[in-house]
Structure 1
């Protein structure tokens, strides 16, 4: 829709009403602000939801792999053969043996539930970029050194160099019953993954030390598998799954975290629908402001018609006015949304400081910081939705203006 210089001049004049039309200008300004806030809210919320899902996926999958192979009895005896087959499977980028067992840890009278993880040296070194204190190189088989999560270290009050006691209820049998196995381990490193549940529970040690602690011999608990594409992991491992029938099961990351990611997906759709209503309300504001403008300019419209202005020109003028309001609101809303996302963490801290409330409790939100990841396709969809709705809102007032009969309006002038 291209406006002629005459049409554009009239449109600009009507977008800046005179003194007696301040109320119309105020309604138009409210319409612009409403579109801006609606678009900004959609951009912020959808980006945070995408970031939340992406960060969870990166951290969970990055630590646990795309799938795990676990024996039905809990102990994988012939894991070396399975590991060799995995390494030859096309699409598999990494396969690592793993031991994982919930136990208890104590230090200075404090007792916490933990999750002991026995990893290979290569997998332990993958935590190097998450290291907060200590040295991962000290975690050698037989050294009785461990690395613990930062939140667990805070809960126990332990630091690098302290010795924590890990309690295994499956201890040795005596005439008086089973005596829990208690082994002291030196804290050689403290790491922070960024997922609260992991940082609050994980105790990492070499696989041989975990086998000794759990009295499992040479067996392991499971094998972690990472593939080139996490979404097609079950297809990649399909041939191996048939070979392991009756001995072990393969579980992918979608199944392990199904409830979490399904809840995020439902919440994401619900938030988009609810926040879209804000944009819809803003569009109704544009509609009402244009109707008021048409009524206020009825005499002017009639005069323009008598001077030769066509119905098409009047239609384009009022459509342009409403569309410009919607477009400006959309552009400013996008800018406001991106600014908020860029400074999101300082804004959260400021609100917490002003209200005295903890808005981002890691024990509830899983992640230690407010995440954000903008999807260009979603941003385009949000902008197009706001522009299309703004355009549709101009149709009725523009048609009303174009259908004005100058004879009826100017009859008594």
Structure 2
């Protein structure tokens, strides 16, 4: 028989006295329950937002991207392409030249992200399924065409296939120079191109990106055989992680191989950091709510001085007395934590199933706040509650174990 647990349970379930101690104990349980529920809900919302970001960017991200460790471009040589294309699991390699450029149309202009891609790009990204107007081809009928994000097209009011007023793309002509020429005729490289299609992928891409043929970007930027990235499509049946490891071995230290998460590491890291700080903040709130356990145990020790003295006179050790009050605090915290956990999980399930709380924005990509429950969050919450419970219960328990028997009999 576990005597400390038996006595602690009797103290907790005792209905003989409805005094201030029981009121404070109930407040303690409610505080722990509310804190646990809030922690589970908030962490689940951050998990949902993280998954939402992955899903949004995953629509346009390649499986893997190869970039240079140093500098923004690298020389693309035949042996490099051979090592890439012969790596098991590599289905397709798209060459990319990407940089900022100035886009002009009539009397309007804006800085855009110009992305020059090789002809197989539409197999890499399925860009054809994102085209809302025009054609996905970058070269047909003997002419080069650009694909514009819907935001870019709206900003400059660009008309498709307007051969009388093509778009102009300008890039600083600073090849081999440390400073930009002040002569406007020689300061920029300039090329014209027709708008062939409008795509709608994701807002940050739609508002800034223009896709052009690789050769067009080569000529405008004077890149020659240099590339800013190589986008790799993984063949069906192969793991992205396994192909990533194989490519790192093949290419060596001069190159980075990035998966989808690593392509947006800053954004995902920001979400994780925010989640960590929110967890710490709510843990402190939970600690403050649990201080009521400290007060209720301290008052219980005072109220049960004679009981403690009798137990010690009958031979109970200081450890037994200490464990009684530690277990009493644990029972109060456990009941509150389980209640909060059940409520938190139920609310998250209801939000996932019925979308009770909407985003409140007509332009939002999802109707309701995304939530995703993870076992790791429940585990961390449990660890936090255990640490907090021990922290607030240890002092009253020590006070009880050091009571003078003769003074309290």
- Under a length normalisation based on structure 1, what TM-score does the superposition of the two structures give? 0.67
Q: 1:129 to 1:393 in 2, by over 3 A?
A: farther
1:73 and 1:302 mapped to 2: Cα distance? 73
**Among 267, 286, 292, which residue is 2:293 paired with?**
286
Q: 1:282 to 1:171 in 2, by over 3 A?
A: closer
Q: 1:282 to 1:154 in 2, by over 3 A?
A: farther
Match for residue 29 of structure 1? 26
1:322 and 1:116 mapped to 2: Cα distance? 63
1:119 and 1:109 mapped to 2: Cα distance? 28
- Give ranges in structure 1 of 5+ residues lacking alignment: 243-248
Match for residue 185 of structure 2? 177
Deviation, 1:279, is 3.0
Written as runs of structure 1 = structure 2, the 5 A alignment for 1:4-403 is 7=7, 10-14=10-14, 18-19=17-18, 21=19, 23-47=20-44, 63=61, 66-69=64-67, 78-79=76-77, 81-89=79-87, 95-105=93-103, 110-120=108-118, 123-125=121-123, 127-128=125-126, 134=132, 138-139=136-137, 141-142=139-140, 146-152=146-152, 155-156=155-156, 166-170=167-171, 177-178=185-186, 180-192=190-202, 196-207=203-214, 221-225=228-232, 228=239, 233=244, 236-241=247-252, 249-253=254-258, 267=274, 269-298=276-305, 301=307, 305=311, 317-338=324-345, 343=351, 347=357, 349=359, 374-401=373-400
- Give ranges in structure 2 of 5+ residues lacking alignment: 174-182
1:49 and 1:235 mapped to 2: Cα distance? 33
1:218 and 1:34 mapped to 2: Cα distance? 65
Cα RMSD over matched residues?
5.1
1:210 and 1:4 mapped to 2: Cα distance? 77
Deviation, 1:315, is 5.2
2:305 and 2:49 mapped to 1: Cα distance? 52
Deviation, 1:185, is 0.3
Q: 1:371 to 1:307 in 2, by over 3 A?
A: same
1:223 and 1:251 mapped to 2: Cα distance? 10
Q: Secondary structure at the match of 2:199?
A: strand
1:313 and 1:72 mapped to 2: Cα distance? 65
Q: Secondary structure at the match of 1:36?
A: helix
- Under a length normalisation based on structure 2, what TM-score does the superposition of the two structures give? 0.67
Q: Point out the more displaced range, 382-391 or 257-266.
A: 257-266
Whether the 8 Å CA contact 1:66–1:233 is kept in 2: the answer is yes
Deviations 1:328-359 (A, max 9, x none): 33233334444565538864636x89xxxx9x
Select the structure that is richer in helix. 1
1:268 and 1:337 mapped to 2: Cα distance? 17
Deviation, 1:114, is 1.8
